[in-house]
A and B are shown apart, each in its own frame.
Chain A
Amino acid sequence: MRAGANLVSFVTIGVLVGCGVTLLLERSLSRVLLGVILIGNGVNLLIVFGGRSGAAPVVGASDEAAMSDALPQAMVLTAIVITFGFTAFLLAISYRSWYLSGDDEVPDDVEDREIVRRAAQREMSVADLAGEPPTADPQQVDAPAPPREEGPG
């Protein structure tokens, strides 16, 4: 009865998800996108194999005891649509990122690097001196807000 769920199918799921995770760890959004597609397909296969396999679940077309489980198939349709929507959105932002900055790499968090730099130099993050205007503190005048980085590099 469970002919659908055999070793080959689980190895396939594993390879799909594994490759997807590897791609997900990349910096480039288009590779991340490919990773999401692969993981999505692997997971959808997993859901289909989660139910009983068998004949088409149409009343009258096959014996009721031999029918496959229709519920995971219904769920996987929804999951496919959702993965499709996310894929489309990721495509849109990777295109937008390429349009704005020339490539689609996800850059580092600017503020975090700034805090690390200041911690290394033992600077205070802000002058915690109430009642004193920022101009009265020379360190404050020398340290204006870092310009927000518009893209990588």
Chain B
Amino acid sequence: MSTLVPLPVVLPLLGAALTLLLAGRPQTQRTVSVGCLSISLTVAVVLLVQAYRQGPLVVQIGGWPAPVGIVLVADQLAALMLVVSSAVTLCVLLYSIGQGQAETGERSPVAIFHPTYLVLTAGVCNAFLAGDLFNLFVGFEMLLAASFVLITLNGTALRIRTGSTYVVVNVLASMIFLISVGLVYAATGTLNLAQLTARLDALPDGVRLSLQLMLLVAFGIKAAVFPLSAWLPDSYPTAPAPVTAVFAGLLTKVGVYAIIRTQTLLFPGQQAGELLMVAAGLTMLVGILGAVAQSDIKRLLSFTLVSHIGYMIFGVGLSTVAGLVGAIFYVVHHITIQTTLFLISGLVEQRAGSTDLRRLGGLSRLAPMVGVLFFVSAMNLAGIPPFSGFLGKLGLLQAGVAAGGPLPWTLVAVGTVTSLLTLYVASRVWNIAFWRSPCETVAPTAPLPALMVGATVALVALGVALTFVAGPLFEFTGRAAEDLIERTPYVRAVLPGGAS
């Protein structure tokens, strides 16, 4: 069964090669990409079930044994991330096919969207499955290289401007990550995560703390944790809607995943917990206050994205099982909902020609379907019961209360305020864009393509379904979090002889 583990990485890469060869045939390209991602999704679900029943699945690539060779590990956390990310990427792909974004434009020489998108997916999956730090780095670089191409798609002046910020910041983050990888190897002589658990514990406290902080800075930039988040709202909104959606949903969460993985597996204990909690509180507040000031839906959503990263970091910073459970649940919820909201902003743009609140109005009459979708998703993001946003926030706040102490209590207060401000921001968009009388400037456009609406509906449904499966999901994330805190299931699966 563990032979399935590399498939979520290998399949999209093969698909990327194939779609690049099929550049002249958009129809076949579409079939290949949708096929690849559908199989990936199926494989991910199988892996999830297996990881739940049997514990972590491990593959030694090329037959090289664990500490030397490259290992891919699908434990419960990784498998859960794989399932959610595969489902989201598939929906976004369908949406972009519906939008015609994926087809060969007159200006782009090759149909570059499909191959790049598949490489991005492979990179995300590789980062989730990586069993050593260097492979994690490679996963990051794969998704980054693909995201560079996607964010500057068509090379218009605006996208080049925002894209250059994105590229420079992320290249710098990669360099910091690479420096940390080099230092970790110099200090311990290994990069295998399972073996590092033992070797890092043997290091002096100062060395270990500096390695931990280096990695946190690198992942913090990618996850857009304040004060390392300023690049995100500047660069995301100008990309095409499906691209922004998949970036918002997945790329920052890969950073959060890396933080969860390294903090729990490599650096257990409270050492950076307080730092993370302070950063989390500031991320929530600064992000949401930024969103309040925005007048463009996409920029506003980018700021809420930054703000809600704070919730997950809060959960990690608590370093308790309950905190991790909340953080993992929140990651799952937030990947779905943030992607959905960006897809809806794409629908608004398609329908009304703009996402600028100063030009929008009366959309609830113009496009009632989009109105319903937005309303449900916005309430979900803000955390109105009974949606999963509420359950995720409740889990985190309960974990904060249970932890006790001045800092967790402050964070609980900040989290509540952020949730209320998110509700304010969401209702502002609703009031202005959907509820008030139509602007004269809104030109009636062609009806929305069915595939775009269909893909968005599917994601909204997934978001709502999280409410219904919240019980089992919390139980699952609970077990995943216990395994993470305990560390031995992961280590024993990778190195049956024990780490040394």
Contacts of B296 in A (CB 8 A): 111
Main secondary structure of the interface of B (DSSP, over half): helix
Q: Does B482 contact A (CB under 8 A)?
A: no
Give, as a whole number of angstroms, the nearest-CB distance from A129 to chain B: 7
Give a binary string over A130-149; 1 marks a CB under 8 Å from any B CB, 0 the rest: 11111100001001110010
The count of chain A contact residues (Cβ–Cβ below 8 Å) is 54
Give a binary string over B171-206; 1 marks a CB under 8 Å from any A CB, 0 the rest: 110110011011101100101000000000000000
Query: Quick check: B183 and A43 within 8 Å, CB to CB?
Result: no
Query: Quick check: B234 and A109 within 8 Å, CB to CB?
Result: yes
CA distance A126 to B171 in the complex (A): 36
CB within 8 Å of A: which B386-414 residues: none
Give a binary string over A105-125; 1 marks a CB under 8 Å from any B CB, 0 the rest: 011010110010001000001
Main secondary structure of the interface of A (DSSP, over half): helix
Q: Which of B152, B183, B185, B358 contacts A51 (CB 8 A)?
A: B185
Contacts of B209 in A (CB 8 A): none
Across the interface, name the chain B residue whose C-beta is closest to A104: B164
Give, as a whole number of angstroms, the nearest-CB distance from A145 to chain B: 5
Q: Which of B164, B354, B439 contacts A106 (CB 8 A)?
A: B164
Query: Quick check: A85 and B358 within 8 Å, CB to CB?
Result: no
Assuming A111-B296, A126-B357, A148-B158, is B181 touching A135 (CB within 8 A)?
Answer: no
Query: Quick check: B164 and A134 within 8 Å, CB to CB?
Result: no
Contacts of A54 in B (CB 8 A): none
Query: Quick check: A106 and B165 within 8 Å, CB to CB?
Result: yes
Query: Quick check: B179 and A151 within 8 Å, CB to CB?
Result: no
Q: Which of B163, B428, B440 contacts A128 (CB 8 A)?
A: B428
Query: Quick check: A90 and B167 within 8 Å, CB to CB?
Result: yes
Contacts of A150 in B (CB 8 A): 157-158
Q: How many pairs, one residue from A and one from B, have CB atoms within 8 Å of each other in the complex?
A: 136
Contacts of B440 in A (CB 8 A): 133, 135
Query: Quick check: A72 and B185 within 8 Å, CB to CB?
Result: yes
Query: Quick check: B186 and A115 within 8 Å, CB to CB?
Result: no
Q: Which of A50, A93, A128, A148 contacts B432 (CB 8 A)?
A: A128
Contacts of B294 in A (CB 8 A): 111, 115, 125
Q: Does A66 contact B (CB under 8 A)?
A: no
CA distance A111 to B295 in the complex (A): 9
Q: Which of B145, B157, B436, B438 contacts A89 (CB 8 A)?
A: B145
Across the interface, name the chain A residue whose C-beta is closest to B296: A111
CA distance A130 to B364 in the complex (A): 13
Query: Quick check: A126 and B358 within 8 Å, CB to CB?
Result: yes
Q: Does A101 contact B (CB under 8 A)?
A: yes
Contacts of A36 in B (CB 8 A): 168, 171, 175
Q: Does B160 contact A (CB under 8 A)?
A: yes
Q: Does A9 contact B (CB under 8 A)?
A: no
Contacts of A93 in B (CB 8 A): 152, 155, 160, 163-164, 167
Across the interface, name the chain B residue whose C-beta is closest to A5: B186
Q: Does B293 contact A (CB under 8 A)?
A: yes
Query: Quick check: A130 and B432 within 8 Å, CB to CB?
Result: yes
Give a binary string over B426-440; 1 marks a CB under 8 Å from any A CB, 0 the rest: 001001100111111
CA distance A90 to B440 in the complex (A): 42
Query: Quick check: B431 and A130 within 8 Å, CB to CB?
Result: yes
Query: Quick check: B157 and A151 within 8 Å, CB to CB?
Result: yes
Query: Quick check: A40 and B175 within 8 Å, CB to CB?
Result: yes
Query: Quick check: B171 and A86 within 8 Å, CB to CB?
Result: yes
CA distance A141 to B138 in the complex (A): 51
Contacts of B439 in A (CB 8 A): 133-135
Q: Which of A71, A125, A127, A148 contacts B68 (CB 8 A)?
A: A71
Give, as a whole number of angstroms, the nearest-CB distance from A15 to chain B: 15
CA distance A145 to B438 in the complex (A): 17
Assuming A75-B134, A100-B160, A107-B161, is B181 touching A47 (CB within 8 A)?
Answer: yes
Q: Does B141 contact A (CB under 8 A)?
A: yes
A-B contacts, 14 of them at CB < 8 A, read: A32-B168, A36-B171, A75-B134, A79-B178, A86-B167, A86-B174, A93-B167, A97-B161, A97-B164, A109-B165, A119-B293, A130-B431, A133-B436, A135-B440
Known pairs A93-B167, A130-B431, A145-B354. 18 more at Cβ < 8 A? Answer: A39-B175, A43-B175, A46-B183, A47-B182, A50-B183, A51-B186, A69-B189, A72-B185, A78-B134, A89-B149, A97-B161, A100-B160, A106-B165, A106-B168, A131-B437, A134-B358, A134-B439, A135-B439
